[in-house]
Each structure stands twice: as structure tokens, then as C-alpha cells.
Amino acid sequence: MILCDLLEKVDITDIAADLSIEIHGVCYDTRKLRAGEIFVAINGYEFDGHKFIEDAIRKGAVCIVCENAPDIKTPYVLVDDSRKALAAVSCAWFGYPASKLKIIGVTGTNGKTTVTTLIKQTVEKCSGKKAGLIGTNGNMIGEKSLPAALTTPESYEIQALLDMMVSDGCQYAVMEVSSHGIHQDRIKGIFFHVKALTNITRDHLDYHKTFRAYKKVKYGWLKRGLGIKIYPRDWQKEKIDFAHPYIGKFNEHNVQTALAVVKSLNIVSEKKLKKLFAQLSPVAGRFEVVHKNPYVIVDYAHTPDGVENLLNAVRGLQHRNKNGGRIITVFGCGGDRDKGKRPKMGNLVLRKSDICFVTSDNPRTENPNNIIKDIRRGMKKNILTTRKTIIVEPDRRKAIQRAIETAKHNDYVVLAGKGHETYQVVGTKKHHFDDREEARKALKKWRQK
């Protein structure tokens, strides 16, 4: 492809390059760059791509797209916003695959993964057509699974995935749309036939700084452009008068959202659609029951609202079982993230659990003990919680083992925060860690007692 075609929808402020240059690829990460490619210098969350322009030229980049003219002599294209430019260039490179798919986007603080998974499953069952999925648990091209590093990938990866979906015969694409993905223009150039909002509660304030700014990003995306818009007030009208395999009030809301979205596509009768919900599969790491008697439940809840919904659902199970025992919760909070939610989560877990194991989540570059101190600030006992037990165990593996060792047959052990994740981030490195695996190991010892 020649440079002129690649820049078709890019807002250019200046150009110092031959528009007939042959381009053999698009790259925004010099570690992956190959000779003959164009390098787009984006300002990332941790690194500024402009600092790597010389490296890109050494590795054979034939043109640079950037916000500041390079100090070194090289063909370049100057733009006001290189993130928007990356999105436009990526769309052109892959031949605008989004225009060949019906795309459904779901945003919200909690519930995106469950809702998008439900939508994908029901759309395929209803229409008989393949659907792709982009989200936290992984990316899917029909039935093929691909790993995911981000909930909403960078714009180049999104366009690559959409292109793969088109090539594989998909007619629908369902996407989790994160606030980061919106704010960083990763989804620019994509027309969404349907946009849906699950809910908005406190999250990602380490990035957005204020709840107001966070809300503005999500609502701004919902309101922009044409297409069907589904807000919580719309799906609240949907009656859940049919069987489905999801537990808890919060999951009832997720089912309502998915139902409203699929109904809006007009691909099947409502009666048939409701029957299909009984056949749906559980979502990995979302109220995933690893064991019964004692119940061991793994969930991704990592916000105050998510934890409250999770533990309310467990209490619902507890009340339905005549011999329902104690709720034993293992949880922590992520490092290098919003510190304000830590005491709130601590307070919620203490109030809604009988035994609390405070441990590490993904501590990243923070000292786990400092994170735990923040959590403990919200766990000051009052008259309602004086008989609660709080156990601090920074080692998550040991915390899970101890929690299951503590459990009796009728208890409920809740492992909150990591859900489907198969790693733990300590420092800047990822180490293999899976709550479900650790729970099964501990249960094996528990049975031998």
C-alpha cells in the first residue's frame, strides 16, 4: 500500500514525505517494528513513542507519523493527535473491516464481560451466523480463542481482530468498550450498530482522576453518532420470566442488558430468544462455582459496587440453603491504581462477610503491606461487626489455602478480585497464578483432613 492511501482519513498538519512511498506495515511499538513499515509515535500510558523515533529509523521505518517533527532527518507526517492517526491508519491498512460487520459495543463499570459473552452466544444461536468477541477474558473469532492483554486493545490490534473476523466469515462483532479505550481513541473509525451501558460506579480514578470525568467519557461515547443506544432504564423493562444459569441480582441485570441488545437486532422472536437463555454457558471467572459443600466461588469483582453485588448474591445463596454457613471472603486491591476505593472495599467486605482474609491482588510496584493498610482503614469494627474475624495474609496463595482450611461443609468461600486471570503482577513482572487452581489444590488437602 502506498502512503497516500494509508493517510486517506488522517488529519494532517504538515508532511515531509513522498506520498508514493510503498508501506509494508504499520507499527507503534519499536520492539515489533520491521523494515519497510510506518511508525506511529503515540503518547502511551507509560511511554512516549516520540522518544523511540530514532530507534524506529534504525530498524528501517520508512516514514514517521508524529505530533512533533523529528530531530533526525527522515520522511514524516505531522499530526495533532497521533492516537487518532494510528486508528485511521490502522482502519485503512486492514481495508476498513468494521464496515463489513455488525458491531455491538458494551460499556460500563461492571458486567461488560458477562453481557458481551451472553450477546455473542445468543446472536450465534439465533442467527446461525458467526460472531467475534473482543474483551477481558479473551478474544474470539467464532469458536477460536485468542489471548487478550487489554479489555479494549490498541486500535491497530482491534482492526487486526476485525479483519480476522471478516476473513473467518463472521457477520457480527461484540466488543467490551472500556473508558481507557474510548479516551485513547482506540475505537475511533468504528461504527457501532448497537451501544449499551451496563452501569457506572467508581473505577479507574487513578487514570480519570474524578468520577465526573470517568462518567463523561462513557456517556460521551454513548451519545455520539447514530445507531441504537441502550441505557439501564431501557433494559430494566425486560421481564426475566425465563430460566437462565446466572446467580444474583446483578446477573439478572446483565441478562436484561443482553436481552435488550439482542432484541434490538430483530433476528429472532422474543419467545425463542428467552428459551435460548436457558442453554447459555457460564462465564469464566464471573461467579464461577469451583466447588460445592463448601461452596468456593471465584469472581472478578474488584470495585466497591462489584464486591457488594457479589457478596449480596452469595448471601442470597446462603438464605436459600436452610443450613447455610458462614461467608469467608479472600480479597485485596490492585497496586498503582485508585487508592480511594480500598477502604470502601474493606468496609463492604467486613460488613457482608463473617471471616475476611485481606491479601494481595496484583500489587504491581506498590508494597503489598501498604495496600493492605489502606484496606484496613475501612475495616474499623462497629457494633455490627465486632464478632467478625479479620485475618491479614499478604501471600494470596496462603490466604486461599487458609480460607479453605477454615471452611466447614456448609460455608461459602469467596475469592474476589482476579476471576479469570491466570497471573499475578508483582513489580513489573507477571507470574502464573490462578485462583481456581489454588482453590482446587487447597480443596484436595481439605478433603483429606
Q: Which domains does the chain have, with CATH numbers?
A: 3-93 (3.40.1390.10), 97-277 (3.40.1190.10), 288-447 (3.90.190.20)
Q: Does pLDDT of 237 surpass 90?
A: no
Q: Does pLDDT of 227 surpass 80?
A: yes
- What is d(CA 437, CA 441) in angstroms, rounded to the nearest whole number? 6
- What is d(CA 342, CA 376) in angstroms, rounded to the nearest whole number? 8
What's residue 320's pLDDT?
Answer: 86
Contact (Cβ atoms closer than 8 angstroms) between residue 272 and residue 126:
yes
Please state, as a whole number, how many other Cβ atoms lie within 10 Å of the Cβ of residue 312: 14
Q: Does pLDDT of 307 surpass 80?
A: yes
What's residue 235's pLDDT?
Answer: 86
Please state, as a whole number, how many other Cβ atoms lie within 10 Å of the Cβ of residue 225: 11
178-192 per-position pLDDT tens digit: 999 999 999 999 999
369-421 per-position pLDDT tens digit: 999 999 999 998 777 778 899 999 999 999 999 999 999 999 999 999 999 99
What's residue 448's pLDDT?
Answer: 86
Q: Does pLDDT of 253 surpass 80?
A: yes
If we measure between CA atoms, which residue out of 23, 2, 229, 244 comes closest to residue 122? 244
If we measure between CA atoms, which residue out of 250, 97, 281, 243 comes closest to residue 172? 97
> Residue 154: CB partners within 8 Å, gap ≥ 6?
28, 86, 186
Contact (Cβ atoms closer than 8 angstroms) between residue 353 and residue 308:
no
What's residue 111's pLDDT?
Answer: 95
- What is d(CA 305, CA 392) in angstroms, rounded to the nearest whole number? 22
Contact (Cβ atoms closer than 8 angstroms) between residue 433 and residue 422:
yes
Nearest-5° angle of CA 86, CA 89, CA 90?
80
> Would you call the peptide bond into 294 cis, given omega within 30 degrees of 0 as the criterion?
yes
What's residue 40's pLDDT?
Answer: 98
What's residue 151's pLDDT?
Answer: 87
- What is d(CA 17, CA 111) in angstroms, rounded to the nearest whole number? 46
Residue 439 or residue 207, greater confidence: 439
Label residues 157-193 b or e (16+ Cβ within 10 Å = b): bbbbbbbbbbeeebbbbbbbbbbbbbbbbbbbbbebb
What's residue 207's pLDDT?
Answer: 87
What's residue 324's pLDDT?
Answer: 78
User: Alpha carbon of 134 to those of 151, 156, 423: distances in Å?
Assistant: 7, 13, 20
Contact (Cβ atoms closer than 8 angstroms) between residue 249 and residue 311:
no
Q: Does pLDDT of 364 surpass 80?
A: yes
- What is d(CA 209, CA 206) in angstroms, rounded to the nearest whole number? 6
Q: Give the lowest-confidence range in 8-12, 97-101, 245-249.
A: 245-249
- What is d(CA 205, CA 79) in angstroms, rounded to the nearest whole number? 29
Average confidence score pLDDT of the chain: 95
**pLDDT level of residue 16 (50, 70, 90 thresholds):** very high
% of the chain with per-residue pLDDT over 70:
100
**127: amino acid identity, one letter:** S
- What is d(CA 337, CA 269) in angstroms, rounded to the nearest whole number? 44
What's residue 322's pLDDT?
Answer: 75
Residue 243 or residue 156, greater confidence: 156
Residue 6 or residue 236, greater confidence: 6
310-328 per-position pLDDT tens digit: 999 999 999 888 777 999 9
260-276 per-position pLDDT tens digit: 999 999 999 989 998 99
